[in-house]
């Protein structure tokens, strides 16, 4: 089912065109990532999808769906405890207090925030506040989740844990999601579709454009290959395996280049290796051409 259809959407701010001739559709359960430099119009577009801002021209059709929005910075009620903040959407749905608090404590446990349930936002770190925002957005089981770099304020370990939990919730509940990020790993493991916002234009991003955006990719025998073309191999560029995970049926590898110490995120390969093991990476095309 199509839940959003936009045709020729245009938005101005102080006579400057922020979004130009946007065409966009979103299906129920579809996961879309939007890449773009700061000031390209990504956040404005998310706010329009959320109904917080309107296009100045063009058409925007939206089905009757429940929407949750996670902004870059946490926006919490300062006079409410962590638990009260998280269960606020359930209160708006007139769910009984005992029931909503039980659901809220379960979400706080998944977000590793249980021990702060009775504290107020000012007593938490910025990363903890953002985790509260994430839990509040998911607790009502929305049909559409809009995320504007929600994990950027979290440390690497916690950000990865939260990311995996959020993405699993999205998949399990068949939630449609639009995700703005500057993180290569997040874009690659999350999306069915990756779009590029540039100077107010929204277009489908090619693999080359994605890798160019993140500044990633490597040369091999005089040919430049995006990271999406590399796999674990018995010969090639020496690396050490840092971590491995499986999401949506695909295995992903985080590797450290032996000669430079750089981290690269490789999204192809099924070899059985152990963390810390020394191996190599090589372009997929080299394997296919051999």
pLDDT at 212: 66
Map tokens 């009775």 to a residue: 118
pLDDT at 267: 65
pLDDT at 252: 72
Give the count of beta carbons closer than 10 Å to the beta carbon of residue 198. 15
Every domain of the chain with CATH number 3.40.50.300 lies at 2-207
Do 177 and 127 touch, CB atoms closer than 8 A?
no
pLDDT at 71: 86
Give the C-alpha separation, 41 to 180, whole Å: 11
Q: Whole-model pTM?
A: 0.72
pLDDT at 169: 84
Residue-by-residue pLDDT tens, the chain, 290 positions: 899 999 999 999 888 899 999 999 999 999 999 988 888 889 999 999 999 999 999 999 999 999 999 888 888 999 999 999 999 999 999 999 999 999 999 888 877 789 999 999 999 988 788 889 988 999 988 999 999 988 877 777 777 777 888 888 888 888 999 999 877 767 777 788 999 888 889 999 877 677 667 666 788 887 878 777 888 888 889 998 887 766 546 677 788 888 888 777 776 665 667 777 888 888 876 544 44
In CATH, which superfamily holds the domain spanning 2-207? Answer: P-loop containing nucleotide triphosphate hydrolases (3.40.50.300)
Every domain of the chain with CATH number 2.40.50.140 lies at 218-289
pLDDT at 285: 61
pLDDT at 249: 60
The listed CATH number (3.30.365.10, 2.40.50.140, 2.60.40.1120, 1.20.1050.10) that belongs to domain 218-289: 2.40.50.140
CA dihedral 169, 172, 174, 177 (to 10 degrees): 30
For residue 10, which of 67, 63, 53 has the smallest C-alpha distance? 53
Give the C-alpha separation, 262 to 6, whole Å: 41
């Amino acid at each position: 089912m199509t839940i959003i259809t936009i045709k020729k959407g245009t938005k101005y701010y102080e006579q400057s065109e922020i979004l130009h001739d946007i065409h966009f559709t979103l299906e129920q359960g579809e996961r879309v990532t939007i890449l773009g430099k700061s000031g390209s119009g990504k956040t404005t577009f998310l706010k329009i999808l959320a109904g917080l801002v309107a296009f100045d021209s063009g058409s925007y059709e939206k089905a009757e769906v429940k929407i949750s929005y996670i902004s870059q910075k946490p926006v919490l009620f300062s006079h409410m405890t962590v638990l009260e903040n998280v269960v606020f959407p359930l209160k708006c749905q007139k769910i009984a207090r005992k029931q909503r608090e039980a659901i809220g404590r379960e979400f706080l446990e998944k977000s590793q925030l249980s021990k702060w349930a009775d504290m107020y936002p000012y007593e938490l770190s910025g990363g903890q506040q953002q985790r509260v925002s994430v839990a509040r957005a998911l607790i009502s089981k929305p049909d559409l989740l809009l995320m504007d770099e929600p994990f950027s304020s979290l440390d690497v370990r916690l950000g990865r844990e939260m990311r995996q939990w959020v993405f699993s919730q999205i998949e399990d509940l068949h939630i449609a999601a639009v995700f703005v990020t500057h993180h290569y790993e997040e874009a690659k493991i999350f999306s069915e579709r990756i779009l590029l916002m540039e100077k107010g234009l929204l277009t489908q991003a090619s693999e080359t454009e994605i890798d160019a955006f993140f500044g990633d990719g490597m040369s091999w025998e005089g040919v430049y290959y995006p990271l999406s073309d590399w796999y674990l191999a018995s010969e090639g560029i020496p690396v050490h395996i840092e971590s491995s995970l499986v999401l949506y049926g695909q295995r992903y590898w985080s590797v450290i280049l032996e000669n430079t110490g750089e981290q690269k995120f490789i999204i192809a390969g099924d070899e059985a290796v152990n963390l810390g093991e020394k191996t190599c990476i090589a372009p997929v095309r080299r394997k296919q051409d051999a």
